A = this chain, B = another copy of it.
Amino acid sequence: MRDVAEGAGVSVATVSLVVNNKKDARIGAGTRKRVLETIRELGYRPNALAKNLVSGSSRFIGLVADAIATTPFAGQIIHGAQDEAWKHGFVLLVANTEGDEPVEKDAISMMLEHKVRGILYSTWFHRPTQIPAALQETDFVLVNCFSPDSDALAVVPDEVHGGREATDILVRKGHRRIAFINATIPAPAKDGRLQGYREALESAGIAFDPHLVFDAYPDQEGGYGAVEELLKRDVTAVFCYNDRMAMGLYDGLKQEGLSIPDDMAVVGFDNQEVIAAHMRPPLSTVALPHYELGAAGVRLLLGVDEPAGSPVLKLECPPVERDSVGPITLTGSRLL
Contacts and interface: CB of A to CB of B under 8 A. Distances in A.
Interface of A: 43, 45-50, 52-53, 58, 68-69, 71-72, 74-76, 78-79, 82-83, 86, 91-96, 109-110, 112-115, 137, 219-221, 224, 244, 247-248, 251, 254-255, 272, 274-275, 278-280, 291
Given A45-B112, A49-B53, A275-B275, 5 more contacts: A47-B113, A49-B58, A82-B95, A248-B278, A254-B255
A227 B112 CA distance: 56
A46 to B, nearest CB: 6
Contacts of A254: 254-255
Closest A-B pairs by Cβ, 6 of them: A220-B278, A75-B75, A48-B113, A69-B79, A72-B72, A68-B79
Given A78-B68, A274-B275, A278-B248, A110 B96 contact: no
How many copies make up the complex? 2
A83 B92 CA distance: 16
Nearest to A58: B49
Contacts of A76: 69
Contacts of A49: 49, 52-53, 58, 114-115
Contacts of A68: 75, 78-79, 82
B110 A244 contact: no
28 contacts: A43-B137, A45-B112, A45-B113, A47-B113, A47-B115, A48-B114, A49-B49, A49-B53, A49-B115, A68-B75, A69-B79, A71-B274, A75-B75, A78-B78, A79-B96, A82-B94, A91-B110, A91-B114, A92-B94, A94-B94, A220-B278, A220-B280, A221-B278, A244-B274, A247-B278, A254-B255, A274-B274, A274-B275
A219 to B, nearest CB: 6
Contact of A72 (B45, B52, B71, B79): B71
Nearest to A254: B254
A113 B69 contact: no
Chain A binding surface, main DSSP class: helix
A99 to B, nearest CB: 13
B278 A244 contact: yes
A110 B78 contact: no
A58 B176 CA distance: 62
A74 B46 CA distance: 30
A113 B272 contact: no
**Residue from the set A114, A220, A224 with the largest chain B CB neighbour count within 10 Å:** A114
Scoring A49, A94, A224, A255 by chain B CB atoms within 10 A of each residue's CB, the highest score goes to A49
Nearest to A113: B48
Nearest to A75: B75
A271 to B, nearest CB: 13
A75 B69 contact: yes
A278 B83 contact: no
Contacts of A43: 137
B53 A50 contact: yes
Contacts of A272: 274
A182 to B, nearest CB: 19
B45 A109 contact: yes
